[in-house]
Amino acid sequence: MSLSQRHLALILITPGLVLVAALFLYPLCFSLISAFSKDGSFTLEWFAKAFELYSTDMVFTVVIVVTSCALTALAAIVIAGTLTLGENRYIVGTLRALYRWPLFIPFIVAAQCMRTFLAKNGLMNNSFVSLGLIEPLQAVSFLDWRGIIATFVWKQTPFVALLLAGALASIDRATLEAGRNLGASRLRVLIELALPQVMQTLLVALVLSFVTMLSVLSVPLMVSGSQPTMLTVDMAFRINAYGDYATANALGVITYLISAGAAILYLRRGLSQEAPR
Amino acid sequence: MRILTIACSLAALMAASPLSAQTLNVASAGDQNMVDYVKDFLGPMFEKANPGVKVVSVGTGAGDSGSQKIFEKLDAQKGSATTDFDVVVIHQKAAGQMVKDGLLDKYTANVPTAKLATGEAAKNALGTDVSGYVIPMFQSQTALAYNADMVKTPPSTFAELADWAKKNPKQFGYNGIKGGMSGVSFVAGWVYAFGGDAEKLMKGPYDAATKTTWDKAFADLKEFNKNATITPGNAGTLDMLNRGEIAIGPVWVDMFYSWQADGKLPPNMKLKLISPGMPGQPMYYAVPAKAGQKKLAEAFIALATSPQVQADGIVKKFNWYPGIDASHLEGKLDKAAWDKLFVDVTPADLAKNGKAFPIAPYFNDILEGYEKKVAN
């Protein structure tokens, strides 16, 4: 008796499916139900509470994550563009060796580094002072929303740059060369010829970064004070201080909707690009 | 009487010692120093006295959240025969909840040193009667730390502090309520100072209407926050004090002295417990209702709350105030070690301005009121 291909495949994926169901789907459904119910009946009370207490933080979270994404995209384009179109061997070589490093550093370590780097009397300001760029009294602490953005951008840029550089390397060099031959500057070749061809990859990388940044707890907790703060901190606080899972779950659903928003933007763009073809 | 005490503890030790080759699991909420205290100090001492016993120390995290994790674990193991923890070190808020939910063992009658802890904290945890279920491990207090070079005449009341902060923008720093208990303590102190009846908040009875009378206090605090720096956590406040970025901030007294002893704070830092006062709180030793090693757990707590260990470990090593009554530490501690604790915050200050946290329902109202009216 032998198993058919189909059965074998089913058996092989069963452990994976069970894991996904037990560790992801079950808790997800549980959270959704808890966010929308009180004593077994449907309610929006937890959402009302979430908005009453944390509306500022919701706006703050979106602004932080969107700004970080924009800056990450910019930095990644500069790095990937230099790697692909750069003509100075040394610059390209050094950059290639260096740019991936932050990928291997966990968020929590990055946050701790930034705490000492960006503080008022931290490494950055002290360096500026000793270089004579600023006076000691002019030094300001960046340990607030700017610190969160700096950490996010620093941490996510290599990820986006890695994907982007890969995509740029695989596009047809002939078009780029043609552009150069016709007298376009490298910047213009990058923006008008290369980038449009890899826009899809850039968007995928940015959507993934968006979701990652939305879910980080350590960075806002460690880098900035708590007012305002990101929704992850509020969720942790709801659970830790009050044991209030319902409101925390409501905040989770709101976070989920925000990230779904990013996904929808991405999908709509993807569809509209494919439609005319 | 004393002989009886010693006999009791010996009996407890002897009852426990034949149980060799066993593991005692101790879970501590609180900062890493609490875990290390059990691992490096208490554990080896207990293992030596009880050959064959191994003490395992785990930490569940700082602040009330650490206690919340212990609560959830015990709650989840309600149905099983034994829990994973034999001794738990918990905060007041969780202790009350655990007693109410029947998760703790009424064990203190079996521990002779329980008689040495007669303070209010041994009986009452934020309004819940916990007598019989807990023995305080230590008592800690929050106070304002200030840089004596930058602040010549520190404010001595909350009202003076508010004035001072207005004149010195961004020079006062605290961690809000999400970054650790010193900030929570400051906010509770603010409500005690400006919210009306502080006694009622600490002693009850709870009246849900009371929170509406805090609107003015919260509005003022929101205004005050504009001139304050929000720091990331208890350690964050000390960090910023150390770097001279802020001049005043609320801190835990024990952390303050430990940091100063380690050279992480300059010597020109001082403490002040301003009026009408700021809350402090104990940590408790408790035994879960379904602990597997109850006898060992009781012996362990008897050792941990004995006067000598309280003197050497709690006061000398960690700069906490003792969990048992301080009078029992007489003769166990040299004067220098004792006085060090009371340099800036004198026993008189402590008696007058060392407050308890509000009872649990008011406590939650204050935190939520802060989130609603101050932070949002």
B372·A224 Cβ contact <8 A: no
Q: Residues near A26 by Cβ (< 8 Å), separated by ≥ 6?
A: none
The tens-digit pLDDT sequence of chain B (376 residues) is 566 566 656 555 555 554 446 899 999 998 777 888 899 999 999 999 999 899 999 998 877 788 989 999 999 998 888 999 999 999 998 899 999 999 999 999 999 988 888 878 888 888 889 999 999 999 889 999 999 998 989 999 999 999 999 999 989 999 888 877 889 999 999 999 998 888 889 887 898 888 889 999 999 999 999 999 888 888 889 988 998 889 999 999 988 988 888 888 988 999 999 988 999 889 999 999 999 889 999 999 999 999 899 988 888 888 888 888 877 887 787 888 777 777 788 878 888 888 889 988 899 899 999 998 888 7
Closest CA to B305 of B1, B3, B8: B8
Residue in chain B lying closest to A111 (CA): B232
- The span from the CA of B138 to the CA of B285, in Å, is 9
B245·A223 Cβ contact <8 A: no
B68·A224 Cβ contact <8 A: no
Q: Is the dihedral of CA A147, A151, A152, A154 positive or negative?
A: positive
Residue B54 forms beta bridges with which residues? Answer: B23
* Chain A residues within an 8 Å CB radius of B229: 225
| Host H or E run for residue B137 | strand B135-147
Q: Are A35 and A246 in contact (CB under 8 A)?
A: yes
Tokens 């990859």 found at:
A201
* Chain B residues within an 8 Å CB radius of A147: none
Q: Is B232 helix (H, G, I), strand (E, B) or coil?
A: coil
Instruction: Count Cβ–Cβ pairs < 8 Å, chain A vs chain B.
Output: 85
- Residue B179: which of A226, A234, A242 has the nearest Cβ? A226
How far CA B38 is from CA of A110, B43, B87, in Å, comes to 30, 5, 11
- The span from the CA of B357 to the CA of B365, in Å, is 12
Number of C-beta neighbours around residue A261 at 10 A: 12
Q: Are B24 and B300 in contact (CB under 8 A)?
A: yes
* Chain B residues within an 8 Å CB radius of A242: 364, 367-368
- The span from the CA of B231 to the CA of B271, in Å, is 18
The per-residue b/e assignment along A53-88, b for 16 or more CB within 10 angstroms, e otherwise, is bbeebbebbbebbebbbebbbebbbebbbbbbbbee
Provide ipTM, 2 decimals: 0.74
Q: Does A223 touch chain B (CB under 8 A)?
A: yes
Q: Does A224 touch chain B (CB under 8 A)?
A: yes
- DSSP states of A192-260 as a string? IIIHHHHHHHHHHHHHHHHHHHHT--HHHHHHS-SSS--HHHHHHHHHHHH--HHHHHHHHHHHHHHHH
Distance from CA of B370 to the nearest CA of A (A): 9
| Token pair recorded at residue B145 | 């730390």
| Token pair recorded at residue A225 | 């004070």
- The span from the CA of B104 to the CA of B298, in Å, is 13
Closest CA to B294 of B136, B111, B167: B111
- DSSP states of A87-121 as a string? --HHHHHHHHHHTTGGGGS-HHHHHHHHHHHHSTT
The pLDDT value recorded for residue A277 is 45
CA atoms within 13 A on the CB side of B315: 28
B63·A224 Cβ contact <8 A: no
Strands A41-42 and B53-59 come out as: unpaired
| Residue ranges of chain A with per-residue pLDDT less than 50 | 276-277
The CA-based angle A157-B178-B186, given to 5 degrees, is 140
Residue in chain B lying closest to A120 (CA): B245
Q: What is the DSSP letter of B318?
A: T
* Chain A residues within an 8 Å CB radius of B231: 225
Residue in chain B lying closest to A58 (CA): B376
Q: Does A146 touch chain B (CB under 8 A)?
A: no
B225·A227 Cβ contact <8 A: yes
Number of C-beta neighbours around residue B264 at 10 A: 13
Q: Is B284 helix (H, G, I), strand (E, B) or coil?
A: strand
CA atoms within 13 A on the CB side of B204: 12
Q: Does A156 touch chain B (CB under 8 A)?
A: no
How many distinct helices (H) and strands (E) make up chain A? 13, 2
- The span from the CA of A247 to the CA of A255, in Å, is 12
Q: Is B140 exposed, middle or buried (0-12, 13-18, 19+ CB in 10 A)?
A: buried
Q: Does A237 touch chain B (CB under 8 A)?
A: yes
Q: Does A236 touch chain B (CB under 8 A)?
A: yes
Please name the residues between 74 and 133 in chain A that touch chain B, using a CB distance below 8 Å. 115, 119-122
Number of C-beta neighbours around residue A259 at 10 A: 17
Is it true that the peptide bond before B276 is cis, omega within 30 degrees of 0?
A: yes
Q: Does A52 touch chain B (CB under 8 A)?
A: yes
- The span from the CA of A27 to the CA of B240, in Å, is 40
* Chain A residues within an 8 Å CB radius of B375: 53, 56, 226-228
B375·A242 Cβ contact <8 A: no
The pLDDT value recorded for residue B346 is 81
* pTM attached to this predicted model: 0.80
The pLDDT value recorded for residue A273 is 65
Distance from CA of A223 to the nearest CA of B (A): 7
B245·A224 Cβ contact <8 A: no
Residue in chain B lying closest to A227 (CA): B375
- The span from the CA of A75 to the CA of A195, in Å, is 14
A225·B367 Cβ contact <8 A: no
Per-residue pLDDT reduced to its tens digit, A237-268: 888 888 889 999 999 999 999 999 888 888 88
- Residue B232: which of A225, A236, A239 has the nearest Cβ? A225
Distance from CA of B184 to the nearest CA of A (A): 11
Rg of chain B over Cα atoms, rounded to whole angstroms, equals: 21
Distance from CA of A50 to the nearest CA of B (A): 10
Distance from CA of B223 to the nearest CA of A (A): 13
Q: Are A56 and A228 in contact (CB under 8 A)?
A: yes
